[in-house]
Amino acid sequence: MYAQMVKSTGEGLKSREEMSPEERHFQDRIDAGEKIEPKDWMPEGYRKTLIRQIGQHAHSEIVGQLPEGNWITRAPTLERKAILLAKVQDEAGHGLYLYCAAETLGVSRDDLTEQLLSGKMKYSSIFNYPTLNWADIGAVGWLVDGAAIMNQVPLQRTSFGPYSRAMIRICKEESFHQRQGYDLMMKMAQGTPEQKRMAQDALNRFWYPSLMMFGPSDKESVHSAQSMAWKIKINTNDELRQKFVDQTVPQAEYLGLTVPDPDLKWNEARGHYDFSEPDWSEFFAVLKGNGPCNHDRLEARRRAWDDGAWFRDGLMAHAAKHSGRVAAE
Ligand code: FAQ
């Protein structure tokens, strides 16, 4: 019901000769590093690809609140509770900037939500894993936000203006999130033997799902070639995954924790770590709706959408009344 492993645009990569004059002009603007704005002419495939990616990204920020929200009432101190509340609230804000960016492409937030709830649109695979102990909140900040930033920093240079500008604000907040996660992991790793064991357990469970966040390997990636030609994506999935591993392994060493990969080793010749690929059959199963928490996450979104209908209606009625009053003045 969940994955549509098809080209969302239905288009292959066109050579310059195959492009229409408008498409050639558009590609020239992209190649010159110009930003594309909502009212500019754009190929239909570019618009659809952006709606898919920005919409999925927005849904991820919103669904991503659920695993952390689960721990707000159980945070061990008032300070940790305040930090976690602020972080979860930031994620809601990120979702809203991204829905606004998608709306400039002619799709409504209601449409996007309905596509999520009907299984036509995805959200990041990572949020289908449970947060079982308090150290998981540290692992989410350190690894999940860490992977999100690795992907999002280059997206600040993406070719579509509203997406690029949303990313600049989001990246500033995500880097705070990553640091709070690492700080929590440091407290746990330097705490009692039981706390250190919890930190290691969290790393064991979140390592491979975090690597999956970058998407399938480049040879399996359906959209990368076209998205990179349009500078919607700046790097390939494998490039970003490698950068994440290279950055994160020394951080794990500093914590005194072990990355759960017996084949992980520094490769002097490549100047990178060699590492084991995630289990891609698990990734595709999660995309198809068969991860540990897919059902609960979608049910929580569905319930929130249904329960909030009266409030959205009230806001719309208030806005209509207000605009009528302004028009009469
Ligand atoms: N999960 O051809 P590609 C966050 C799908 S934000 C689910 O390589 P593409 C903040 C893909 O959609 C995290 N599906 O696709 C936070 C496509 O299926 P489709 C979200 C995935 O788009 C932190 C198919 O597989 N970030 O965490 C995944 O070129 C903590 C083929 O893949 C973004 O969305 C996946 N991991 O590259 C919040 C960043 N990977 O649509 C709370 C923006 C791939 O044809 C707490 N997005 N698929 O049915 C991107 O950069 C790209 O969309 C990729 C995928 C890199 C995710």
Q: Identify the residue whose C-alpha is closest to ligand 1 atom 9.
A: 223
Q: What is the pLDDT of residue 2?
A: 32
Q: Is 228 in the pocket of ligand 1 (CB under 6 A)?
A: no
Q: What is the mean pLDDT of each run of 10 residues along the chain (329 residues)?
A: 37 84 97 97 97 98 96 96 97 97 97 96 98 98 97 97 96 93 97 98 98 97 96 97 98 98 98 98 97 97 96 94 81
Q: Identify the residue whose C-alpha is closest to ligand 1 atom 36.
A: 213
Q: Can you tell me which atom of ligand 1 is nearest the CA of 233? A: 51
Q: Identify the residue whose C-alpha is closest to ligand 1 atom 43.
A: 57
Measured in Å, residue 86 CA sits from the centre of ligand 1 at 24
Q: Can you tell me which atom of ligand 1 is nearest the CA of 227? A: 29
Q: Is 115 in the pocket of ligand 1 (CB under 6 A)?
A: no
Q: What is the pLDDT of residue 228?
A: 97
3-state SS, one letter per residue, for the chain = CCCCCCCCCCCCCCCHHHCCHHHHHHHHHHHCCCCECCCCCCCHHHHHHHHHHHHHHHHHHHHCHHHHHCCHHHCCCHHHHHHHHHHHHHHHHHHHHHHHHHHCCCCCHHHHHHHHHCCCCCCCHHHHCCCCCHHHHHHHHHHHHHHHHHHHHHHCCCCEHHHHHHHHHHHHHHHHHHHHHHHHHHHHHCCCHHHHHHHHHHHHHHHHHHHHCCCCCCCCCCCHHHHHHCCCCCCCHHHHHHHHHHHHHHHHHHHCCCCCCCCCEEECCCCEEECCCCCHHHHHHHHHHHCCCHHHHHHHHHHHHHHCHHHHHHHHHHHHHHHHHHHHC
**Residue in 223, 237, 297 to alter for ligand 1 test, most ligand atoms within 8 A of Cβ:** 223
**Residue in 51, 53, 155, 294 to alter for ligand 1 test, most ligand atoms within 8 A of Cβ:** 53
Q: Can you tell me which atom of ligand 1 is nearest the CA of 140? A: 30
Q: What is the pLDDT of residue 13?
A: 87
Measured in Å, residue 195 CA sits from the centre of ligand 1 at 32
Q: What is the pLDDT of residue 12?
A: 65
